[in-house]
Amino acid sequence: TWTAEAFINDAIREVRAQVGDKRVLLALSGGVDSSTLAFLLHEAIGDRLTCMFIDQGFMRKLEPERLLEIFRDRFHINVEYVDAVDRFFAQIDGVTDPEEKRRRIGHEFINVFETESQRLGPFDYLAQGTLYPDVIESANTNVDPKTGERVAVKIKSHHNVGGLPENLRFKLVEPLRKLFKDEVRNVARLLGLPEDIVRRHPFPGPGLAIRIIGEVTQERLAILREADHIVREEIRRRGSYDDFWQAFAVLLPVRTVGVMGDRRTYAYPIVLRLISSEDGMTADWSRVPYDLLEAISNRIVNEVRGVNRVVYDITSKPPGTIEWE
């Protein structure tokens, strides 16, 4: 029978045998897969692992700080923080089409990854948090005809990332490739990952940029980040984080009329998207208690300048999608 303990011991042995004294690069996103991979590889090869964390500027409030605090300060894992906030923003400035936003973010990710891996390298291996379901539908790897090893031609971190350039065809280290998601979580726990990472909701690679409908501006990003933070604070406060597959806010690029004191306001509406799901392929809007909706709504309207209305999305998937873009 499968146990997380036996898996970890075998994986450490296999990684050491595969990598020898070479260096390994890992693109760390803060999600459960790449985080578990980082902990596992750190056990196996210590400082010969370099994690690259590219901050695109579209993460949730306090998440970049939290990630560095855990990996670097608490667990002494080698993390290179790449501040690419301005670069990514410049790429999507004025872009309104959802797929075009994704394409540009994915493309910029490759550019930054390429530059930084050359600066930090050379690396022989690229570690990827490929899971068993990814292997089954895998079109993102090739087999090197000479050595039989899998080599990366794409990076997994985003759905829509373009191909890797020829000179970046790393050999792959994929110790999680036989695992399902729930097994990854068990491995993560045993490796000592904090519970908030182990149980983290899925978060899209392009992040908050696809939760601002249409044009992303600094003002909208700041507003959405605060509103989103309140959603999470309120569901955590009630101990209901695990009741949801995802729980987040979306900003609509329109303004509606409201009233505050004796003044008329004209500001953005925020959509709440709270859903349950098994795998993200289908999803149901969550029948949450009214008092939770009320608490979130009151706090957002009172605390976030620029928002005067909160609405609740009662569309399941299908026919809706989980994200609004």
Q: Which residues bind ligand XMP (CB under 6 A)?
A: 102, 158-160, 202, 204-206, 246, 280, 317, 321-323
Shortest distance (Å) from residue 68 CB to ligand XMP = 21
Shortest distance (Å) from residue 321 CB to ligand XMP = 3
**278/291 with CB nearer ligand XMP:** 278
Cβ atoms of 15 and 173 closer than 8 Å = yes
Shortest distance (Å) from residue 20 CB to ligand XMP = 32
CA distance 308 to 16: 56
Distance of CA 119 to the CA centre of its chain: 24
**155/198 with CB nearer ligand XMP:** 155
Shortest distance (Å) from residue 307 CB to ligand XMP = 22
Other CB atoms closer than 10 Å to residue 118's CB: what's the count? Answer: 12
Per the annotation, does 34 bind a ligand? Answer: yes
Per the annotation, does 31 bind a ligand? Answer: yes
Per the annotation, does 33 bind a ligand? Answer: yes
**30/309 with CB nearer ligand XMP:** 30
Q: What angle do CA 170, 159, 40 make, to 5 degrees?
A: 50
Per the annotation, does 196 bind a ligand? Answer: no
Name the 3-class secondary structure at 48: helix
Tokens representing 117 are 């891996």
Name the 3-class secondary structure at 275: strand
CA distance 206 to 101: 8
Cβ atoms of 156 and 205 closer than 8 Å = no
**220/273 with CB nearer ligand XMP:** 273
CA distance 291 to 208: 26
Shortest distance (Å) from residue 194 CB to ligand XMP = 21
Which residue, 290, 293, 305, 288, is CA-closest to 224? 305
Using the CB atoms, write b or e for 64-82: b if 16+ within 10 Å.
Answer: bebbbebbbeebebbbbbb
Shortest distance (Å) from residue 214 CB to ligand XMP = 16
**87/317 with CB nearer ligand XMP:** 317
What is the secondary structure of 100-144 as a DSSP string? HHHHHHHHHHHHHHHHHHHHH---SEEE----HHHHHT--SEEE-
Peptide bond into 318 cis (omega under 30): yes
**61/102 with CB nearer ligand XMP:** 102
Q: Let me know how many helices (H) and strands (E) the chain has, helices first.
A: 10, 12
Per the annotation, does 32 bind a ligand? Answer: yes
**127/155 with CB nearer ligand XMP:** 155
Per the annotation, does 157 bind a ligand? Answer: no
Shortest distance (Å) from residue 113 CB to ligand XMP = 15
Binding residues for ATP: 29-35
Binding residues: 29-35
